[in-house]
Chains A and B, each alone.
Chain A
């Protein structure tokens, strides 16, 4: 079977990989690039566990064909932290106990980043609607929403 050569930028690095035409970006990230942070919870774009930011837009990586990523710039959960510091969202999720099993956490962090990139001072309702495409079965969302609101405060007012 012929394979397509894809060049793109992932978490700031230029990368390339070979993929079958029908393969999803999610499988390419996980299997070809070893970036396992994005998870497959449904494969149909209903759960948000595979959320990535592609060219500035929040996307479900399971709904994108891998060849569509050619030339794109992609941020995954692995790209949030710097070498010596977690992203404020990651830190607030830890301190706010916003994860239990943790399987949905990478997707929530990415969806929350996409929100705060657009709207640095969201209301609770805006946070809830921005995260409505991400399913969490453990937390009831309470501590996730609080942690996103707290991270927004920290990002707006750096120490």
Chain B
């Protein structure tokens, strides 16, 4: 395929069909030059005078009581300026989210996973810090450990927390267990539904824990002074979260901490929490010097992330005409060492792409001796979709229907009930299904020897708190300051929305990510919320400014403000007695009409638009090695409105490829003694360029009525369908349905061999 042909086959819109001047265009991102020139500063790129290097000592055991920690030898080593252990941190409450955060940052009396932080050293050089950390003597009393869901749920399982009693079970259990919570959603009567169904298919699925795999390891530099103030430079998905979480772990008032956001080298949900900042802060306080901590890749794998593995049992009933009526699902998700909400999210997502008369969904959140789960792009939804959309594919085959037609027939519409309660608002699933059905890819003949798979995916998206400040400069340019880190082009999106509102050329707008002291509180970037919620704040501030600009024009013209309209970046006099005043003319004269112009908006964004994606892939399967090769891939996703279509496509493509990795290769592999056996990119193999074809994109735009430009948020849902897409395509290619991920060569080969014999 030539470049031109490839480009032409990508995207169906995003070229201003909406009638906007700037929204929907593709300018070069404002922060781009620094990033291609090697000048952009990520957290590990900062060095301060007198800076020390921190190194964290981690547990080699998956479950053990810390009997004693002797730091005396480490403290006497060359270059060592400070040593801290759990005893230097405030006591954690007995249970709850605060305890989980505090005990994840550093273990107190018990280590709960291999890689759990135990102590830390700050020294003049990296090597001195590492050598000293390794000289800390920790005496452990080993405890029995448990590494997988089935073992952790067993009656005789070693219990991680003796004060953890399953929530969601009546009566409340009297014995502690590793089952943190039970979640149930139900409607109708599933037994009646199965009795009335023509077809009932029942399968059990499993997926493995995977890592978000951002290329930038966690890093920070913290400088604490003698007055107890701390400045933190950190890479995160939300610097206000870094401030509040660090304050919580240290028992400090948040006003002592200023967080300056470094550029972030990928997060995908994995940087919605903290690990190292409080440790660096205590080391810096003790040493009286700035301290830098950069995690090694091995530590990133052993102690951060991952997304959970899951076991899901699905039973689905349908009529011979292809109507799916009934689903019963049992889901159990790993939580890692502390309680999370993975299974609850899985329960909410598992059948959301379908209308059902009868459903019963039951989920279990399970703690075990692995690192604490952190969000990964549409958390929990990929495994759930893998289970449901694999079964749906079998139903289509059994009733002899096209798998897309079957999905269209069972597609929910606005006003239908969601499985978890509220009614669907305006959604674009049907449009995504149609876009794939009509795509060049789906209409093309499947090449000989290949298999084709389709699947749907759902994710909620969320709103939360955002702030923006927009200042108009005296030369007629604008500075847009927001509190959302720019992970994948959000500066450009903010600038485009401001340009559209103000009628100003996007190149005259400077988007800035402000630190915790220059912009209002903004929640962490999660739930595909930055362009939606922070964008709303930008639009609100710009609308305030337009009012101010009209008033200034009215003052200049000595007329009623009602006679002034804001059109294409200029104040226009309705009666037509005055020449229009450009934004630059007004700002240039601002000192004489009332002073500088600026506006701030802070809001809780309501009405996040649910996201759907539908995808199709063609694969070939090497019968001798079991290797699955993706030959062609097309994704359709409802963006609501694509503000910067190139970066919308980028989110779609990136999500798809992460999902392909999850489906085909990636998995956490633990040894029996509880250590991660593949904590590096050589053995934890994420997709590389030569593994993949182009990822063709089709942006669907069903506007979200709650956003001024119809934005839904596009960051996450793209990762949901690839798991079932791959499984369905492999089943089509080989006639063998595999229900355990990943579809790695050994597993595929084993399944092919078993099917032959």
A-to-B contact residues, CB < 8 Å: 20, 22, 27, 30-31, 35-44, 46-47, 49, 76-78, 80-81, 86, 90, 93-97, 99-106, 109, 124-125, 127-129, 131-146, 149-150, 153
CA distance A151 to B653 in the complex (A): 21
Looking across the interface, which residue of chain B has its beta carbon closest to that of A27? B126
| Chain B residue at smallest Cβ distance from A34 | B47
> By the criterion CB–CB under 8 Å, are B39 and A100 in contact?
no
Of the candidates A27, A37, A99, A150, the one whose C-beta lies within 8 Å of that of B32 is A99
Please tell me which one of the listed residues A30, A42, A106, A144 contacts residue B681 in the complex, with CB atoms under 8 A apart: A42
Chain B residues positioned under 8 Å from A104 (CB to CB): 215, 265
Point out the residue from B3, B651, B654 that lies within 8 Å of A146, measured CB to CB.
Answer: B3
The smallest C-beta distance from B49 to any residue of chain A, in angstroms, reads: 13
In the assembled complex, how far is the CB of residue A158 from the closest CB belonging to chain B, in whole angstroms?
A: 17
A-B contact pairs, 8 of them (CB 8 A): A37-B38, A78-B38, A93-B32, A100-B488, A105-B36, A137-B215, A142-B653, A144-B689
B24 smallest CB distance to A (angstroms):
14
In whole angstroms, what is the CA distance A90 to B40 when docked?
A: 14
- The smallest beta-carbon distance between B399 and chain A, in angstroms, is 34
Q: How many A-B residue pairs have CB under 8 A?
A: 195
Quick one: closest A residue to B34, CB to CB? A102
Segment 24-51 of B: residues with Cβ below 8 Å from A = 26, 28-29, 31-33, 35-42, 44-45, 47
Known contacts A102-B265, A137-B654, A140-B654; A97 and B489 CB within 8 A of each other: yes
The smallest C-beta distance from B162 to any residue of chain A, in angstroms, reads 39
**Does residue B209 face the partner (Cβ distance < 8 Å to A)?**
no
Residue interface mask B644-675, A partner, CB < 8 A = 1: 00110111011111100000000000000000
What 1/0 mask marks residues of chain B from 35 to 73 whose CB sits below 8 Å from any chain A CB? 111111110110100000000000000000000000000
B487 at interface by CB-CB < 8 Å: yes
Would you give the shortest CB distance from B640 to chain A, in whole angstroms?
A: 19
- Can you name the residue of chain A whose Cβ is closest to the Cβ of B648? A97
Residue numbers in A under 8 Å from B656 (CB-CB): 140
Q: A140 and B42: CB pair below 8 A?
A: no
B559 interface hit (Cβ, 8 Å): no
CB neighbours of A150 from chain B (8 A):
3
Give per-residue flags for B365-396: 1 if the beta carbon is below 8 A from chain A beta carbons, else 0. Answer: 00000000000000000000000000000000
Q: How far is the CB of A93 from chain B (nearest CB, A)?
A: 5
Which residues from chain B contact A102 at a C-beta distance below 8 Å? 31, 35-36, 40, 263, 265
Cβ–Cβ < 8 Å partners of B266 in chain A: 100-101, 103, 137-138
Binds A, one of B88-96, B451-459, B690-698: B690-698
Contact of B3 among A27, A128, A153 (CB under 8 A): A153
List 12 additional contacts besides A101-B487, A142-B10; criterion CB under 8 Å. Answer: A27-B126, A43-B297, A86-B33, A90-B36, A100-B654, A101-B265, A103-B263, A103-B265, A104-B265, A125-B690, A140-B692, A143-B653
Contacts of A80 in B (CB 8 A): 37
With an 8 A cutoff between CB atoms, is B214 at the interface?
yes
B142 within 8 Å of A (CB atoms): no
What residues of chain B lie closer than 8 Å to A78, measured between beta carbons?
A: 37-39
Shortest distance from the beta carbon of A7 to any chain B beta carbon, whole Å = 23
Please indicate the chain B residues that have their CB under 8 angstroms from the CB of A100 in the complex.
266, 487-489, 647, 650-651, 654
Residue from A30, A40, A134, A144 in contact with B217 in the complex, judged by beta carbons closer than 8 Å: A40
Residues of B within 8 A of A99 (CB): 32, 35-36
| Contact, CB under 8 Å: A138 / B1 | no
Q: Which residues on A sit within 8 Å (CB–CB) of B658?
A: 137, 140
**B264 is an interface residue with CB less than 8 A from chain A:** yes
Q: Which residues of A contact B87 (CB under 8 A)?
A: none
Least CB distance from A134 to B in Å reads: 7
Interface assignment of B686: CB less than 8 Å from any CB of chain A: yes
- What residues on B are CB-neighbors of A93 within 8 Å? 32, 36
Interface string of B143-181 (1 = CB under 8 A from A): 000000000000000000000000000000000000000
CB of B377, distance to nearest CB on chain A (Å): 10
Q: What are the residues of chain B within 8 A of A90 when measuring CB–CB?
A: 36-37
Cβ contact of A47, chosen from B1, B215, B653, B690, cutoff 8 A = B215
| Smallest CB separation, B94 vs chain A (Å) | 38
- Partner of A49 from the list B39, B126, B215 (CB cut-off 8 Å) is B215
**Interface pair A35/B38, CB less than 8 Å apart:** yes
Question: Roughly how many angstroms separate A128 CA and B32 CA in the complex, as a whole number?
Answer: 23
Contact A101 B3 (CB under 8 A): no
Q: How far is B44's CA from A49's CA once the two chains are assembled, in angstroms? A: 13
Chain B positions within 8 Å of A96 at CB level: 646
Please measure, in the bound complex, the distance between the C-alpha atom of A5 and the C-alpha atom of B185, giving whole angstroms: 68
Would A138 and B37 be within 8 Å (CB), given that A39-B265, A94-B29, A103-B266 are in contact? no
- Contact across chains for B686 and A135 when beta carbons are under 8 A apart: yes
Residues of A within 8 A of B505 (CB): none
Q: How far is the CA of A149 from the CA of B694 in the complex (A)?
A: 13
Taken residue by residue from 259 to 286, chain B's Cβ proximity to chain A (1 for < 8 Å, 0 otherwise) reads as: 0000111111000000000000000000
Chain B positions 628 through 650: 1 when the CB is less than 8 Å from some CB of chain A, otherwise 0? 00000000000000000011011
Cα distance, A86 to B688, chains bound together (Å): 27
